[in-house]
Amino acid sequence: MKPFAYVKPADVEAALHAAATEPGAKFLGGGTNLVDLMREGIEQPQTVVDVTGLPFDTVEDLPDGGLRIGALVRNSALAADPRVRDRYPVLSQALLSGASGQLRNMATVGGNLLQRTRCLYFYDTTSACNKREPGSGCDALDGFNRSCAILGVSDSCIATHPSDMCVALAALDAVVEVRGTGGTRRVPVTDLHRLPGDTPEIETDLAPGELITAVELPPAPADSRYRKVRDRASYAFALVSVAAALEVSDGTVTLARLALGGIAPKPWRAREAERLLTGGPADEAAFRRAAEAELAAASVRDGNAFKTSLATATIVATLRELSQEGAVR
């Protein structure tokens, strides 16, 4: 690990000033991703700005029935919050399916939003990776690509976004509050992360020095669920995951929100599937048609072609479970 300067600002203004003026500055929250990347020589900040002392560690009710979640709320605390467990089960389930208990105790909401891909070639500094070293190529294209993306990919990058929490937030229409030296702005979480295109090294909509301060959730849908398919039962990244919310009245879908993980370079909001589901029958045939339509644009490699059918089956199973639960109520 290369030497770096360490700064712990006393307030938000000092943190933003440090990020804007200190050379090569990076914000530090729980450190569960950044510190790993620094140890591997992938991230090499000249200055680490520790924001853990800032007042962003609470969960508050909003007047409209939603929630405001501070960026420094730990993943374990958020998953255990009674309001999240009761009103937003998809978020609690997603958090609990991510990483180990020890990591969840350290990881923050803001850091989770900004965690970087776990692509093998991104972590291997001897391999070609456009995300790590722009213009070097992408060894995953013809290499070991079992875990790689099938939607939203480009010839420059097929890495997947690793977060479970972000998939749930995408399905919930969450909004991210961001603060910089120019003021505060609000970004829908579905717009926060960028697809790779020709610039896979640019991963988010954030400007240099901007700090995530909170995430806001609108009022919760009637019911929601997170389903994750992975190689082992714990501490593994998703091959495919589904965050879904479904409301059904007299056998007809009145609301459908669907986001997918493990298959794209960003949390993937399944807009086409939602369009086909809404106003249609809440039955297995309709669920399958919607899933297949969403996956129709998949661009697969030899190692990850199985994800198309796996994602379809996972979407159908998740929607089936939600529709059956709704029918019982």
* The token pair that represents 219 in the structure block: 């009022």
Residues 6+ positions from 54 with CB-CB distance below 8 Å: 9, 11, 12, 15, 72
Q: Report yes or no: 60 and 213 within 8 Å, Cβ to Cβ.
A: no
Q: What is the mean pLDDT of residues 28-55?
A: 95
pLDDT single digits (tens) 60-103? 999 999 999 999 999 999 999 999 999 999 999 999 999 888 99
pLDDT at 323 over 80: yes
Residue 325's pLDDT is 78
- Identify the pLDDT of residue 99: 83
Residue 198 gets the label, from left (phi > 0), alpha (psi -120 to 50) or beta, of alpha
Q: How is residue 112 written in tokens? A: 């989770």
Which helix (H) or strand (E) segment holds residue 310: the answer is helix 306-328
For residue 8, the one-letter residue type is K
Nearest one of 67, 98, 101, 103 to 85, comparing CA atoms? 67
pLDDT score of 207: 94
Report CA torsion sign: 43, 199, 111, 212. Answer: positive
Tokens of 56: 């962003």
pTM score over 0.85: yes
What is the structure's pLDDT at 329?
46
* Distance between first and last Cα of the chain: 56
Q: Is the pLDDT of residue 127 over 50?
A: yes
What one-character DSSP code corresponds to residue 298? -
pLDDT digits (tens, 9 = 90+) for 299-319: 999 999 999 999 999 999 999
Q: What is the mean pLDDT of residues 30-34?
A: 94
Alpha carbon distance 222, 323 (integer Å): 11
Residue 326 has pLDDT above 80, yes or no: no
Query: Parallel, antiparallel, or unpaired: how do β-strands 175-180 and 5-7 relate?
Result: unpaired
Q: Which of 199, 126, 205, 196 is nearest to 158 (CA)?
A: 196
- Predicted confidence band of residue 258 (pLDDT cuts 50, 70, 90): very high
Domains of the chain: 5-52 (3.30.43.10), 224-327 (3.30.390.50)
H-state helical runs in the chain:
12-21, 34-39, 75-80, 82-87, 89-96, 101-106, 109-113, 120-123, 165-171, 189-192, 271-277, 284-295, 306-328
Give the helix/strand (H/E) hosting 182.
none
